[in-house]
Amino acid sequence: MSDALALTWRQYRLERRMFWRNPTAAFFNFFLPLLFLGLFGAILSGNQDDLDVIVPGIAGMSVMSTTFSALAMNLTFLREQGVLKRMRGTPLPSGSYLGAIAAHAVTNAAIQVAIVVVAGKLFFGVDWPKDYLELVVYVAAGVACLAALGVAYSHVIPNFDAAPAFVNFVFLPVIFISGVFYDAEDAPAFLRDIARALPLTHIIDGLSGAMVTGRSLGDNAGGLGVIGLWAAAGVFFAIRGFSWDSRNA
Amino acid sequence: MSTVPRAIEVSDLHKSYAGHEAVRGIDFAVERGEVFGLLGPNGAGKTTTVEILEGYRERTSGTVSVLGMDPGERPRALRERVGIVLQSSGMYRFVTAREAVAHWAAMYPNPRDVDEVIALAGLQEKRDTYVRKLSGGQARRLDFALALIGDPELIFLDEPTTGFDPAARRQAWDTIRSLRDLGKTVLLTTHYLDEAQALADRVAIIKDGRILAIGTPSELGVGSATRVRVSWRDGSGEAQTREVADPTALVHELTGEALARGGAVTDLTVVRPSLEDVYLELTAADDSGPADQPPVRTEAANV
């Protein structure tokens, strides 16, 4: 067990090192939410109500891009390249490998949320989080749910050339209807209903409660339930459809 | 009588995919310390067979034992004692060759020395180069290094020199021979006949999911003294070929004729059959023969 943990840690460190060595990937990963934050901050400057929506919204988007999008893309790439198959032939336990990849995605999510929180305080008039426990709970729930869904979604993507289209087909509509850029309550009813059935709206609601409105964990409990259901489905399909080799997919 | 299990034992192995039978009843055994070659055209079932032995695929039926364990159960103890060079498999791009080998070393209980393996693979000059900057041949040598770092008893090499230039091939052959000298068992698949002839102690020729013949190259008639092919160009310039048991009489006849008419025997060659000849003969015979003919067993008391 301790051996498996040590191997997980080694693999995690390798993933981190490789991530920072690929400057374009690292740059865009961290630059995109900051760019959005900067642009919307400039457009909405002076309108604190809108800024109060956009800051937790971008935090939620960051959680989704670092977990769902990144895992769906990376796993498709690693599977197609045969890296997964190579790892499968080593004594590295599968759990250690997948744990390291997940931990790597979680680290990116945590870093991005931290960046957004700090930028919100420094530039956009959003105070320090009101409820750190709630913030941690929602980041953790969001990461677990969207990471599992990202792994599950990678099984559907036929090849790496198709991966950006497949990922954005989900990512872009979901961030638009889930209230990243505006208050989801202002959307037409049918879009609002769709959004309320999806996890990201509830993740953003929770982050908003923790960072801005002060709505407590208890008030958002229903949202956590929706996130939990998606997480359970995500974990089920992530495990069920997992393939180490593109030829068996 | 030894209690150490054979390196590989396969009996009545079958593998079907959605109605297609890729492997249709294969039997063979590989002794410890042996270099065993699986030879056959593309789609013959070589890779399917090897991937079942490596634990990548589940068999449909039959029994398989690798180092005394069932690869279908994917025991970690087995993966610690086996090295795999896949036909093609990608690698992380933003690690250096040495980092990769060192990272792999940590996965095994008794790894070899990292720099020693880097040197064995001929990657000393590229040790600090990112994998993405390695040439195809260098990346292949890294595959070897990663397969050998755990000091495996058994090494699977699936078409290890495909895409190599001739010099790199010779170098890879030397590496494989050095593995045998270390007492390692090697299962090699290849469609290069010269490679099988140069490296393998025994060869199985496989086609359409069945073994057509199995044995040492000499048992398969490679280099056989009883079948010799004589080729020449006759008086009218036509190329002639004849297979004989003993070329002495035929060559005497040819040279006698030529001397008598005051000419020369042009383009005279006398060759013993290569593995390629045996292979082409067997695979062609199989095409015209009945579908369920039994495999040619030229093997001695080795199974």
Using one digit for the tens of pLDDT, what is the confidence trace for A86-103?
Answer: 999 999 998 899 889 989
Compare CB distances from B56 to A91, A93, A245 and report the shortest one's residue: A245
Cβ–Cβ gap B89/A88 under 8 Å: no
Structural contact between residues B84 and B54, judged by C-beta atoms closer than 8 angstroms: yes
Kindly state whether residue B197 falls inside one of the protein's structural domains: yes
Kindly state whether residue B2 falls inside one of the protein's structural domains: no
Kindly state whether residue B183 falls inside one of the protein's structural domains: yes
What band does B223 get if pLDDT is binned at 50, 70 and 90? low
- Stated pTM of the model: 0.82
Angstrom distances, CA of residue A10 to CA of A89, A110, A157: 17, 20, 29
Nearest to B43 by CA among B21, B11, B10: B21
**Residue B17 sits in the same domain as residue B83:** yes
Q: Which residue type is seen at A38?
A: G
Q: State the CATH number of the domain containing residue B40.
A: 3.40.50.300
Q: B177: number of CA atoms within 13 Å, CB side?
A: 11
- Please give the pLDDT value at position A223: 87
**Residue B82 sits in the same domain as residue B188:** yes
Residues in A closer than 8 angstroms to B90, CB to CB, are: 78, 80-83, 86
Residue ranges of alpha helices (H) inside B121-165 are: 136-148
- Please give the pLDDT value at position B289: 43
Structural contact between residues A212 and A56, judged by C-beta atoms closer than 8 angstroms: yes
Query: Which tokens sit at A205?
Result: 């609601």
Give the full edge-to-edge strand order of the sheet including B239-244: B239-244, B228-233, B266-271
Q: Does the pLDDT of residue B299 top 60, yes or no?
A: no
Q: Which residues in chain A come in under a pLDDT of 50?
A: 1, 248-249
Q: Does the pLDDT of residue B35 top 60, yes or no?
A: yes
Higher-pLDDT residue of B222, B241: B241
**Residue B74 sits in the same domain as residue B15:** yes
Query: Which tokens sit at B3?
Result: 């209690």
Q: Does the pLDDT of residue B204 top 60, yes or no?
A: yes
Residues 6 or more apart in contact with residue A164 via CB below 8 angstroms: A73
Residues 6 or more apart in contact with residue A9 via CB below 8 angstroms: A100
Q: A157: number of CA atoms within 13 Å, CB side?
A: 30
Range list of β-strands (E), B3-81: 8-17, 20-30, 35-39, 61-66
**Residue B159 sits in the same domain as residue B69:** yes
The vertex-B156 CA angle with B159 and A8, nearest 5°, equals: 115
Nearest to A243 by CA among A104, A82, A14, A105: A82
Q: Say if B90 is an interface residue toward chain A (CB within 8 Å).
A: yes
What band does B303 get if pLDDT is binned at 50, 70 and 90? very low
Q: Distance between CA atoms of A87 and A100, rounded to whole angstroms?
A: 13
Residues 6 or more apart in contact with residue B213 via CB below 8 angstroms: B204, B205, B220, B278, B282, B295, B296, B297, B298
Q: Distance between CA atoms of B88 and B11, rounded to whole angstroms?
A: 27
- Please give the pLDDT value at position B293: 43
Angstrom distances, CA of residue B259 to CA of A219, B141, B237: 110, 55, 16
Compare CB distances from B92 to A18, A88, A248 and report the shortest one's residue: A18
Higher-pLDDT residue of B43, A156: A156
Please list the helix, strand and coil fractions of chain A in percent, rounded to the nearest 5, in that order.
80, 0, 20
Kindly state whether residue B15 falls inside one of the protein's structural domains: yes
Query: What residues in chain A have their Cβ under 8 A from chain B's Cβ atoms?
Result: 7, 10, 14, 17-18, 21-22, 78, 80-83, 85-86, 88-93, 244-245, 248
**Residue B249 sits in the same domain as residue B206:** no
Average pLDDT rounded to a whole number, residues B190-203: 86
**Residue B182 sits in the same domain as residue B208:** yes
Q: Round the average pLDDT of chain B to a whole number and report it.
A: 85
Average pLDDT rounded to a whole number, residues B226-253: 81
**Residue B57 sits in the same domain as residue B27:** yes
- Please give the pLDDT value at position B285: 62
Query: Which tokens sit at A68?
Result: 């769902």
| DSSP 8-state symbol, B202 | E
**Percent residues over pLDDT 70 in chain B:** 91
Q: Does the pLDDT of residue B123 top 60, yes or no?
A: yes
Q: Say if B261 is an interface residue toward chain A (CB within 8 Å).
A: no
Using one digit for the tens of pLDDT, what is the confidence trace for B80-91?
Answer: 999 999 887 789
Measured between CA atoms, the residue of chain A closest to residue B152 is: A90
Using one digit for the tens of pLDDT, what is the confidence trace for A209-220?
Answer: 888 887 777 777
- Please give the pLDDT value at position A131: 86
Kindly state whether residue B248 falls inside one of the protein's structural domains: yes
Compare CB distances from B86 to A21, A85, A92 and report the shortest one's residue: A85
Query: Which tokens sit at B130?
Result: 């990112």
Kindly state whether residue B165 falls inside one of the protein's structural domains: yes
Structural contact between residues A154 and A102, judged by C-beta atoms closer than 8 angstroms: no
Query: Which tokens sit at B52?
Result: 């079942």
Query: Which tokens sit at A107?
Result: 């680290």
**Residue B245 sits in the same domain as residue B206:** no
- Please give the pLDDT value at position B286: 57
**Residue B156 sits in the same domain as residue B261:** no
Average pLDDT rounded to a whole number, residues B105-118: 95
**Residue B210 sits in the same domain as residue B183:** yes
Q: Say if B86 is an interface residue toward chain A (CB within 8 Å).
A: yes
Kindly state whether residue B129 falls inside one of the protein's structural domains: no
Domain count of chain B?
Answer: 2
- Please give the pLDDT value at position A244: 84
- Please give the pLDDT value at position B294: 46
- Please give the pLDDT value at position B298: 45
Ranking A222-236, B59-73, B239-253 by mean pLDDT, the lowest is B239-253
Higher-pLDDT residue of A243, B27: B27
Kindly state whether residue B51 falls inside one of the protein's structural domains: yes
Give Cα A192 distance to the centre of its chain: 21
Structure ipTM over 0.90, yes or no: no
What domain range includes position B20? Answer: 8-92+151-221
Cβ–Cβ gap A93/B146 under 8 Å: no
Query: Which tokens sit at A103?
Result: 């931990």
Domain boundary among B161, B194, B221: B221
Cβ–Cβ gap B107/A86 under 8 Å: no
What's the distance, Cα to Cα, between the start and end of chain A in Å?
30
Query: Which tokens sit at B17?
Result: 């995919």
Cβ–Cβ gap B80/A89 under 8 Å: no
Cβ–Cβ gap B106/A244 under 8 Å: no
Give the per-residue SS3 of A13-48. Answer: HHHHHHHHHCHHHHHHHHHHHHHHHHHHHHHCCCCH
- Please give the pLDDT value at position B282: 73
Domain boundary among B182, B201, B221: B221
**Residue B232 sits in the same domain as residue B159:** no
